[in-house]
Chain A
Amino acid sequence: AQTVTQSQPEMSVQEAETVTLSCTYDTSESDYYLFWYKQPPSRQMILVIRQEAYKQQNATENRFSVNFQKAAKSFSLKISDSQLGDAAMYFCAYSAPYGNKLVFGAGTILRVKS
């Protein structure tokens, strides 16, 4: 069974600085998808970024980018120019292709200091 591990329960970053959230996963599949979701306090889950395992190029979405290391089964999220609105719980998730379900990590709480 696939598993997703987020080893940082909590991270802090100063406003306008850069922070990296870590995620590792375990799978025997060669083709899959990885996602980062953001869940602000008492608000719904929002998709931040997606990475296809068959793509070598790391995905980017504005201030958000990933470092995808397929051999190491590592998928970290970098947030540049952090803003107060980035404060949230961040979840890393795995999906098989033609996906039936997402497998989530336990999450990392990100605090942004002004």
Chain B
Amino acid sequence: DTGVSQDPRHKITKRGQNVTFRCDPISEHNRLYWYRQTLGQGPEFLTYFQNEAQLEKSRLLSDRFSAERPKGSFSTLEIQRTEQGDSAMYLCASSWKRRGTGAYEQYFGPGTRLTVT
């Protein structure tokens, strides 16, 4: 297994355009998470899926943001009508429940860096 992958790694777009990012989790992981990280800060939770069900969305996830995981495998995060404030690193992570505990260790992808000009 090659770990969590994200595509594209970098995206430059003009304000007002729509962008879509893809995340491919580790194959046996049933949970998938999206985070946003701005420069010099810790990641902030956006949303997560268990299989194909989206179980929680942060207040950070405005109406312009939508995430899907249609077959419980890869996920997409779309941002409509991008704004300069959307410029950030978008991180994807996946996890499964460690046997014998309630711990879900999350493994992160390399991220997609979005620049909105």
User: CB within 8 Å of B: which residues of A?
Assistant: 4, 31, 33, 35, 37, 43-47, 50, 52, 91, 93, 95, 97-107
Contact = CB atoms under 8 A, between A and B. Distances in A.
A55 B83 CA distance: 45
Interface residues of B, number: 27
A45 B42 contact: no
Given A44-B109, A44-B110, A99 B104 contact: yes
Interface of B: 33, 35, 40-45, 48, 55-56, 58, 91, 93, 95, 97, 101-111
A82 B40 CA distance: 23
Nearest to A33: B103
Given A44-B110, A45-B91, A98-B97, A104 B104 contact: no
A35 to B, nearest CB: 8
A107 B40 contact: yes
A4 B44 CA distance: 12
B31 to A, nearest CB: 8
B90 to A, nearest CB: 13
21 contacts: A4-B42, A33-B103, A35-B105, A37-B108, A44-B111, A46-B108, A47-B107, A50-B103, A52-B101, A97-B102, A97-B103, A99-B95, A99-B102, A101-B33, A102-B33, A102-B43, A102-B45, A102-B106, A103-B45, A104-B43, A105-B42
B29 to A, nearest CB: 13
A95 B104 CA distance: 9
